[in-house]
Amino acid sequence: MNILLTNDDGITSPGLHAAYRALTRAGHTVTAVAPDRERSGQSHSVNFFTYLQVTEVEMPDGSIGHMVNGTPADCAHIGCFALAKDPIDLVVSGINTDTNLGYDANYSGTVAAALEAVANGFPALAVSQERSANVDWEMAGKITKEAVNLFQGWGIPTGVLVNLNIPAQITDPAWIWVPLNLNAVREYYVVDTDAQGNKRYKRTREEKYCQVDPGSDIDLSRQGRITLSPLGPVRSERDTLARLRAKTFETRRAISSGL
């Protein structure tokens, strides 16, 4: 397959290189297009009004990768439409350093790059590895390779990405399809002052207090399971739309009857 490989940790990140090695060794043609530095937490932000600078860099096998001074979504878009070999069979975003589970998928640059791909008609896989003192990047690369090899057989609809999360301690090698846990993690701000005496705020979280739905991605990941979740970009909420349209019709009818 012709694969576009991107991420939000930067072109030199160990996760991207692990995915690159595993996929090229498996015989896939891989074009790496990634940010010039870590761009975690940038979600789906893009640059509309400035030029993107693209610099060629050498990948582990001596081939050419592309370093972009933009966001992960920028990298996915310019990779799909200007830099990658045509046609693109799959966009892989990752391997991210730390998981993108539950509500955090909304903030993730890794997931956003995959969302940018599927929004433009390209199939996409986002891959994340839980942070730990001894990350086995080779294992994460092998899991990524297996997911890529199986992807076409999953029958994922156009406009839907697959979000793959790998726990630090795997208790069962068989991955499982799960929904996202949509309850946000409890967060608060630590307040102190800088050297000039100005008050400043740092966002932090108490993840252990997150309300976890049984059978969700957070629940199964905490149990050491490799999880897969189908995700889609923002769409109109159909049930709410139908209800509001009906309500608008009723309002108009009531106004008309009073004229």
Give which of 119, 117, 41 is closest to 78, Cα–Cα: 117
- Position 73 scores a pLDDT of 95
Element (H, E) at 65: strand 64-68
Q: Is the Cβ–Cβ distance between 126 and 114 less than 8 Å?
A: yes
Question: Roughly what angle, to the nearest 10 degrees, separates helices 14-25 and 137-151?
Answer: 50
Residue pair 120/77 in contact by the 8 Å Cβ criterion? yes
Taken in order 79, 84, 89, 90, the sign of the CA dihedral is: negative
Report pLDDT for 209: 60
Q: What is the side-by-side order of every strand in the sheet holding 64-68?
A: 54-58, 64-68, 29-35, 2-6, 90-97, 124-129, 161-166, 225-231, 172-177
Q: Name the residue with tokens 């108009």.
A: 252
Token pair listed for 243: 């209800």
Q: Is the dihedral of CA 207, 212, 218, 224 positive or negative?
A: positive
Please tell me the predicted confidence (pLDDT) of residue 188. Answer: 67
Name the CA dihedral angle for 7, 9, 188, 163, rounded to a multiple of 10 degrees: 30
The predicted model scores a pTM of 0.85
135 neighbors 150 (Cβ within 8 angstroms): no
**Structural domains of the chain ordered from first start:** 2-181+212-257 (3.40.1210.10)
Strand, helix or coil for residue 66: strand
pLDDT of residue 190: 82
Per-residue DSSP letter, 105: G
Amino acid 166 reads I
| Nearest alpha carbon to residue 176 among 110, 111, 137, 223 | 223
Q: What is the mean pLDDT of each run of 10 residues along the chain (259 residues)?
A: 96 97 96 92 84 94 94 96 91 96 91 95 97 95 97 93 96 93 71 88 68 88 93 72 70 57
Strand-pairing partners, residue 193, are: 199
Cis omega (within 30 of 0) on the bond before 95? yes
